[in-house]
Amino acid sequence: MLVGAGGRLSVHPDKPVLVAPRGRNVQFWDLEGASVIETRRIDPSADNTLFTSARYSPDGRYIAFGSPYGPMKVLRLADDALVPISTDRSINGDRIAFHPDGQRFVAVGERTPEGGNIPNAHWVDLQSGESRPLVPDEVEVVDAAVSDDGKYIAIAETQAISIYDTASLDQQMRSPLAEKPTWVVASPDGDWIVGLADGTVRTWSSETGQFVPEANPDMGLGWVIAIDRFDDSNRFCVLTGKQKILIWDRDTGSIRFVGHHGSAHCIRAIPGERGMVTVGFNNGSRLWPMPRPQTNSEPATESQLAWSLVTVSADGSIVAAVGQYVHVWNVSNGKCLTAFEPRTRHIKDVCLSPDGSLIALVGQELKTEVWSVTQGHPVADYFDPDGENRWPETINRRSNCVRFSEDGRQLMVAEQDALRIYDVHSRQRLTELAKVARKTGTVLISMIQAMDTDSQSGRIALAHTYSIVVWDPADERVLKTVETRGPLDAEHPGVFFSNDGKRLVVGHLYRVAVYDIESGHLLDELRSHWVHGRMDEDWLVSNREGQLSWWSPATEYVPPYERTSRRPALKPLMKARGQLKDVALTDDGMLVLIDQHDKPLVYGK
């Protein structure tokens, strides 16, 4: 779930509470309810200081805050008082590692010797209020960690690992490295886990001053962005340069894939091995549960927690979720009917036939597969009979581009510049609404992102760049072209006919708009929300916090100045447990959503 945090956050060692710096303020979040507990001002006297990192002490008594412009602050939670420390203003505390006693910590950040910004490491004692730098000015520090027994500090430099004694603060040893380290974490056995710029995670031994040759996994292309450890175990969560979230069990050597978080730069393990929190540059924080142990009855896939698409049959009896594998369940008893790996990759859209017997998948290069749900094997492939591929290979976004007809006999597939309608059983192409229509001349269609069918008239709405084309499939002619105020949202594209077929509801970039088809006017809009579907005259929408609500938009034109001043007609429904990925609705009021947890959730009317 998106919980909002601008920098590096921390989780309380004993409670399900997350602390996230937000500029001059700090937010405390309930991890179980994914809700804000309270917001506080870190330092009322520091109006111009912005804080971007936070770290709980091991006993939960203190929180250390770092700022890119300094100085650091330490908050004592017992009385909400700031603890005086003598760090230089230019030490920003970008990365903070506490000693097990909770009274000392090492803070890594930039300092400015003679006008040059070189990251250093400062050792801070909260009891005495004193601090001192650990490395010479010419040494650039990348990260630092404290051993479990509190005796040693490991400092990752640009091309070396240094070990310091916490009692004397003297350097005990220094070993050059061939690759640049990006992160260092203490291991329970006294060794150090080091993430490297070459994408590997390696175990460095303090006894030998070298890397341990075995059990050093390659995490893929790009460097290792961040590492954190689960409690006292030998298990680590890793964030890679490809924004992959992985769990590495050092004892068994296994690596589990959990999911992706674009532009993420921090990862934190939740105490009790309950999950992880990742932080992105522009889209806040996300909660990730621990993956379940695999069983022999399930496909050997790491994508079950990476399900991103969900669909439900028209009668509400069957639900399917899609990741690397496709799983289909019977809603009444929760039994898995089939699980298979589709032949195409990077699934963009999925649709179940009205009776739930077939499932259509559209993936890479718009290859369309139809599988039998009951038999669990492919029935047919649908492709351009002329051998043309109108879908650019560079496109990497979700598109609502495949639908069954209401009787289940036809399959509609929207491509970049055409809508093709096939007979499901014969696989013959019945109609093509293309860039050049045979009966009406030239109609420009490009980059189709979403489609919908009016159940009353059979009209088809095709949403693409800055306009929506309403087609009559029987006569292959354009009935209306509605110019939109902006393109569709790349992550949540959607276009829907109203119940009476007179209006279109469109999901723009974090904004929902209602257009009158006849006049093309913008009737109403709802900002800071996505739209997921229609239920009678209401619309299911969600915001960035995962709050689902019913929205009743205006059916007549509302002037822009009234839209901004009036209160939107929203009726709260529920809050998602994790990151909301996809939602499916049935006409009888059933809601199926997929979040960051293991399985889709089914809700009755």
Burial class (CB in 10 A: 0-12, 13-18, 19+), 205: middle
Identify the bridge partners of residue 516 per DSSP, sorted by sequence position. Answer: 503
- Which residue bears the tokens 């296994």? 254
Q: Which amino acid is at 24?
A: R
The CA-atom distances, in angstroms, between 121 and each of 9, 156, 177, 195, 197 are: 19, 10, 19, 18, 20
Q: Which of 176-190, 447-461, 544-558, 568-582 is the most confident on average?
A: 176-190
Rounded distance between C-alpha atoms, residue 523 and residue 556, angstroms: 6
258 CB contacts (<8 Å, ≥6 apart)? 237, 245, 246, 247, 276, 288, 291, 302, 305, 306
Rounded distance between C-alpha atoms, residue 42 and residue 271, angstroms: 24
Note whether 43 and 83 are within 8 A (CB).
no
**pLDDT tens per residue, range 197-238:** 888 899 999 888 888 876 567 766 578 999 999 988 889 999
Rounded distance between C-alpha atoms, residue 358 and residue 7, angstroms: 45
Tell me: pLDDT of 442 over 60: no
Note whether 211 and 202 are within 8 A (CB).
yes
Task: State the pLDDT at residue 552.
Answer: 92
Identify the bridge partners of residue 245 per DSSP, sorted by sequence position. Answer: 239, 259
Which of 110-114, 193-197, 417-421 is the least confident region? 110-114
Q: Which two tokens stand for residue 245?
A: 């979230």
179-196 average pLDDT score: 92
Task: State the pLDDT at residue 207.
Answer: 85
Q: Chain-wide mean pLDDT for the chain?
A: 80
Task: State the pLDDT at residue 146.
Answer: 96
Tell me: pLDDT of 153 over 90: yes
Tell me: pLDDT of 598 over 90: no
What is the layout of strands, in order, in the sheet containing 131-133? 95-98, 104-111, 118-125, 131-133
The CA-atom distances, in angstroms, between 463 and each of 203, 466, 506 are: 52, 8, 9
Tell me: pLDDT of 385 over 70: no
Rounded distance between C-alpha atoms, residue 27 and residue 37, angstroms: 8
The CA-atom distances, in angstroms, between 505 and each of 61, 286, 417, 424, 488 are: 50, 29, 22, 29, 11
Task: State the pLDDT at residue 417.
Answer: 64
Q: Is the pTM of this model over 0.85?
A: no
Q: Which two tokens stand for residue 402?
A: 């495949």
Identify the bridge partners of residue 285 per DSSP, sorted by sequence position. Answer: 279
Degrees to nearest 5, angle at CA 95 with 233 and 60: 60
What percent of the chain lies above the pLDDT cut of 70? 82
Higher-scoring residue by pLDDT: 491, 211: 211
Among 435, 396, 404, 403, smallest CA distance to 417 is for 435
Tell me: pLDDT of 301 over 60: no
Length of the chain, in residues? 605
Rounded distance between C-alpha atoms, residue 189 and residue 388, angstroms: 59
Q: Which amino acid is at 21?
A: P
Rounded distance between C-alpha atoms, residue 537 and residue 67, angstroms: 49
Distance of CA 432 to the CA centre of its chain: 36
Give, for 106, the enclosing helix (H) or strand (E).
Answer: strand 104-111
User: Which residues in 285-383 belong to E strands, given as ranges?
Assistant: 285-289, 309-312, 318-322, 326-330, 336-340, 349-352, 358-362, 368-372, 378-382
Rounded distance between C-alpha atoms, residue 232 and residue 205, angstroms: 18
Give, for 437, the enclosing helix (H) or strand (E).
Answer: strand 436-437
Task: Give DSSP secondary structure letters for 565-592.
Answer: HSPP-EEEEEE-SS---EEEE-TTS-EE
Among 50, 42, 57, smallest CA distance to 11 is for 57
Q: Which amino acid is at 75?
A: L
Task: State the pLDDT at residue 52.
Answer: 82
Task: State the pLDDT at residue 229.
Answer: 94
Note whether 575 and 548 are within 8 A (CB).
yes
